[in-house]
A and B are shown apart, each in its own frame.
Chain A
Amino acid sequence: MTGIELSVTALLLGGYALFFGVLLAVLTRRASRVRQQAATAEALVPEIRDALVDYLAGSNDQTRIRQFVRANRLDVGNAVLSFQGTIGGSARDRLCDLALELALVHDWGQDTRSREPAVRRRAYARLAFMCAYEPCQRVVGDLVTRALGDADPEVRLPAARALIQSGNMAVIGQVFEMAVSQNLLIRILLTEDLRKYAAELCADTVPAILKSGDSKRILAVLKMLAAWERALPLTGLRPLLDDRDREIRIAALRLAPLVPLTPENQNAILRELTDSDSGVSTAAALTAGRLRLQESMPSLARCVRTGTAELARMAASAMAAMPPRGWETLEELAGGTDPAAAFIASVALDKARRKAGV
């Protein structure tokens, strides 16, 4: 019995060890080849980039580039992509035209049908860069539009980016609407791309979503707008400042400093300072401070005296941002009888003075 066990075990384990030995040899060989290819590419890509830079600088000699394409098509693609974010205007158009001429765009279009998720994603990322050039858009337009409904979010993202590049406001509006229902990562990534169309989006697309009544989408839009951190020609924020949903009220308050300050908005902010929800009143205090609302001073002082610790701290910071009246009020509070309020006021005042170099 033991003899059989011993033999079977030895056979099994010996077989495995041998199998792993052979597999290791194969894998090491493959690793060695991959590393060699990577080293070659690392050495080659700067040369390809140099040739491309010459071409972009006006040289019409494509001999070297075509040689590279024949020998290392993949590396040329990588080199073309390495210009993403560094060139624009006519140079980018020239580069995209070259990629079209060398059939690289066609290759990437083929790659979008690959079964490998990584290959598909890479192909769409490259096409997204190419879509800044109108002739490329005509070649791959349908492909990226269809990809907007792809099951893979990493495909939807470059597809959306490609469509943003088109500059067509109707399409960009669609992308914005798609973005607000995506996961937070995609929203973050597309928010950056959509920033330059902020003003145009605030004309129709954004107000339409804000009036939709879908609180999830409204919240996503408000956060995206606030993340643009730029002045926005948006009207109609007031109903959201009074919304029943506290999250929407807070998001609307955070957006308020970026939109035109109307008397209705100002009144709403002052009202929110006295909201029973400390999260809302804290956001209102932050907004009042950012807008330097002198009218909010009595409410802010009350927040320092009677609010929760976080609200009191935020209200004191808001007052510290409004010298000289805010500082005078803080001095009064610092000398008051309530030790907690006095401490918070004195810390805020001290910090503001230090910041101002006083």
Chain B
Amino acid sequence: MESIGQAVFWTVQALAVSLFLLGVGAFVVLVRGCFMLRRGTRAGFADYSDVLLKSALAPAVTTIAVPPDALPESRQFARRLLDLHFGRNEVVIVLDGPSEAEMAIWSSEFKLYRSARPVERKLPTAPVRGVYESRDPIRIVVVDKEPGGAADAWNAGVNVATSPVIGLLDPESEFLPTVLLRMIQPMLEAFEETVAVCGGEPIPPAAGLTSRWGALESLRAWMTRGAAFASRNLVLPIPGSAVMARRDSIVASGGFTGGALELIVRLHGFSLVSQKPYRIAFLPVPVSYGRTPRGMAQLRQMVRRDQSELALAFRRRKSLAGPFGWRMLGDLYLDRSLRPKLETAAYVLAAAGLVMGWVDWKLAGFVLLATVAMGMVKSLGAVVLRELAQPARSGPAQIASLFLAAIPENLGYRQLRNLWLIADSFGSARAAKPPPQTIVH
């Protein structure tokens, strides 16, 4: 019995130290993100939208959407894409195996007629049944194809697109009509090298604790995957951010295997394998951001969606990015997969050890410091470091409320979120299928 007690004691001690070190690592990444943001803010992000809107030299952009149904929300999203300000913006809507009724709804919504537009077969997809254009003076192309899944539909959209640049906007985000005009600028600065641009800001905080926790979650992800990773040219999109990528790069890398996150991982991997100079730019301006979660259910949904995408990308890292997969996703794996498991184990063992008398109060306190207090410092740090890098973006009351929300976030919600992250990682593992094409083995 005594040996079990000793084992538990040392295990808890080791877990606490590991968690503390993981926390320090995550905090260092936040600081790096702060420096990156500060450099960008000091240099400024010039806005030449007025000139770009009129210019015939600006490359055309095709915005692709894959609506799952013909519900008013999906049609509304298509309308929002058509309202984007850009000289030559074409919207491609890919319907993945729509029923006759759904097709009829889309046809009447946009007054579609069957088009003679050719479909290139640069990326393999399920057969395309028909391509339609609108009789109205709007640049929309609707593709009716056999069912093949979301990634297959994205690839069909790339095949149909005629523009050199592809725009991807999250249906669950708020974006400005000028998003394409702002996003194209980093690409135009180095068109040959820039294969993609990820742009946007974290979710703005709203009233209510769950909204603020959502905002904190998004802020940490934005400072890590956006700003900090940008300093190593390893930018990854966060939920709600807008993505713009060169069509030739998408085709060359083998197309979509999942969502925008997997695409960007794939583009990084392909470019690194090619050993050519490249960059995926990060544009931290308020052109697009995720919707603020209202209530625990929406917060849960937000966490699940992000975690599932990350878990899938991590499981497919070798096929997506070859030997570079771990370099891109390793930090995220430690923070989003390993840490929640270690932390939950530490809580359970510390609690059991306390009851059994194997763990003293000092060690239990150390566990709490390495998890709860470290979490608070990270969230408080994220708020302060962002304010340091991009001053006066929010009002003092808003900053203070977000700052204070970091305290209750780590007293209950953090532990619940750990369980969510563990559950979603396992769920994704079961759902994961190998992608159709690989880069490097």
Seen from chain A, the residues whose Cβ lies within 8 Å of a Cβ on chain B are 2-3, 5-6, 9-10, 13, 16-17, 20-21, 23-24, 27-32, 34-35, 38, 116-118, 121, 153-154, 183-185, 187-189, 191-192, 223-224, 226-227, 229, 308-310, 312-313, 316, 343-344, 347-348, 350, 354
Contact = CB atoms under 8 A, between A and B. Distances in A.
Interface stretch (B242-250, B307-315, B378-386, B419-427): B378-386
A275 B113 CA distance: 32
Contacts, number: 141
Interface stretch (B43-51, B69-77, B296-304): B43-51
Contacts of B387: 24, 27-28, 31
Contacts of B403: 24
B381 A347 contact: no
Given A192-B51, A192-B55, A308-B118, 6 more contacts: A2-B360, A13-B374, A17-B377, A32-B396, A183-B190, A184-B191
B431 interface: no
B56 A229 contact: yes
Nearest to B12: A2
B377 A13 contact: yes
Given A24-B399, A183-B191, A184-B57, A5 B115 contact: no
A117 B57 contact: no
Contacts of A354: 135
A31 B403 CA distance: 15
9 contacts: A13-B377, A17-B380, A20-B380, A24-B387, A28-B396, A31-B387, A31-B391, A154-B43, A310-B118
Interface in B184-206: 185, 188-191
Given A9-B20, A16-B377, A188 B44 contact: no
Contacts of A188: 48, 51-52, 55, 57-58, 188
A291 to B, nearest CB: 18
A13 B55 contact: no
B399 A2 contact: no
A344 B116 contact: yes
A254 to B, nearest CB: 10
Interface residues of B, number: 53
A184 B253 CA distance: 24
B438 interface: no
Contacts of B392: 30-31, 34-35, 38
A119 to B, nearest CB: 10
Contacts of A183: 188-191
B373 interface: yes
B9 to A, nearest CB: 9
B48 to A, nearest CB: 6
Contacts of A38: 392
A51 to B, nearest CB: 26
Which of A17, A344, A350: most chain B CB closer than 10 A?
A: A17
B185 A117 contact: no
Interface stretch (B230-238, B284-292, B324-332, B361-369): B361-369
B381 A16 contact: yes
